[in-house]
Structure 1
Amino acid sequence: MTTIGLRRFREPPSGNGPPVTLCELCAVPAGEEHGHVVNVETRGLLCACRACHLLFTRDTSGRARYRSVPRRYLHAPRFLLGTADWDEMQIPVRTAFFFRNSALDQTVAFYPSPAGATESLLPLETWERVLAANPAMADVQPDVEALLVDRRPDGGFACHLVPIDTCYELVGLVRLHWKGFDGGQEARAAIEGFFADLRGRSRTVPPVDSADAALAPVLGGDGRG
């Protein structure tokens, strides 16, 4: 998913003040804190003025070409996911995001890298098992919302339900700050700051109860979340 509007996520400021962003649907000034609209057919993410964003907020037919990206933020600090399942999803880094692609009619997985958003082959049965164990985070709107999963230093996992453009903001931060083989201190600080800000604007989802925790053995590995 690429767009001219996402340059602000991956390029440093020009030093000449904030650029004027135009709505990519009607060409009027969109404002600095504007929303985004997804082109479902091309996977393009477009900057949108308030009027255009509101226009595509509701998809009553299920076949609309454009869908507005909502502003919902949820945080599950203890996400039930096993380390073996993480490895099975072939994700070599600490963070990945998952969203339902309605054009493909399946969930896809990407992780941020110095080259941009990199797709990982997703074993659908594994992901369905993970969602079944975390029902509070399973209500993700196709195309416009994602589950952003972060592996914590203690080996457990946290999960954020976020607007899809938030994931590409993280991708842009990684591309902008990554240095050398391991990213460097600047990249690590930018990523930690990103997640700290995300936690600050998210509603926390209660931890899974004992009945859900009983599913941990079927989630590969130790099932810590």
Structure 2
Amino acid sequence: MSPSGNGLRILQRIASERPKPVVGERCDMCAVPIADAHQHVVNVQDRQLMCVCRGCYLLFTDEKAELRFRAVPERYLSFPNFELAPGRWDELQIPVGLAFVFRNSLLAKTVAFYPGPAGATESELPLDAWDGVLAVNPALGQLSADTEALLLRVPEHGEGDPECYLVPIDACYQLVGELRQVWRGFDGGQDARRVIDTFFDDVRARSRVAKEPT
């Protein structure tokens, strides 16, 4: 066999033994491959959502520990007795009928995000107005800081009852991402409303009724 033939065989063997590139997502912590459906942890200091494997997720599930990273729980709760007094939504200074509210433990404040054409807009809630909501809805106090959110929706033109659910924070960012792709104008348009309706149908199906404090 000619030297050039030997060289070709060597190159072919090297190519066949070379590790194939990994397709798909990897854990942001340990770099192992993860499925499309995976869990998340929150980097509390950087306010960053991280995609992780099951093993890394379980390292940060202790809610009482003072950790930089916190696992995002998977619970969904509904509040069928949720009350929102007339005019209270305006006092919260949220310009659209949908928002998610969470507690930022690092800054020790409650903030709201609402969707728009540029994604999620952050708004620090007026303390007195939000305290008024909590006073008549004490069950909302079981919200875990940083990792869970209260998903709020008020009906258009005052028709119907307001809705409130406790959901994982990553579900809220998923909704924001979907809305950003279809949002048109100030109120989002018909496509955005369809996305919101579908999302809330899924949340209702996943949710169990929250226990009222005794």
Q: State yes or no: 1:58 paired with 2:75.
A: no
After TM superposition, the structure 1 = structure 2 runs for residues 1-225 of structure 1, keeping only pairs within 5 Å, are: 20-61=24-65, 63-153=66-156, 154=159, 156-205=161-210
Task: Please report the RMSD computed on the Cα atoms of aligned residues, expressed in angstroms.
Answer: 1.9
Distance 1:183 1:147, change over 3 A: same
Q: Which residue in 2 is equivalent to 1:3?
A: none
State the SS of the aligned residue for 1:138. helix
Distance 1:49 1:26, change over 3 A: same
Runs of 5+ unmatched residues, structure 2: 1-22
State the SS of the aligned residue for 2:27. coil
Distance 1:26 1:207, change over 3 A: closer
CA distance in 1, matches of 2:24, 2:167: 26
TM-score (norm 1): 0.78
TM-score (norm 2): 0.82
Structure showing greater relative contact order (alpha-carbon pairs closer than 8 Å, 6 or more residues apart): 1
Identity %: 54
CA distance in 2, matches of 1:125, 1:190: 32
CA distance in 1, matches of 2:174, 2:186: 21
Q: Which residue in 2 is equivalent to 1:12?
A: none
Counterpart of 2:26, as a letter, is: L
Runs of 5+ unmatched residues, structure 1: 1-18, 209-225
Larger Rg computed on CA atoms:
2
CA distance in 2, matches of 1:68, 1:95: 25
Distance 1:121 1:52, change over 3 A: same
How many residues were matched structurally? 189
State the SS of the aligned residue for 1:107. strand
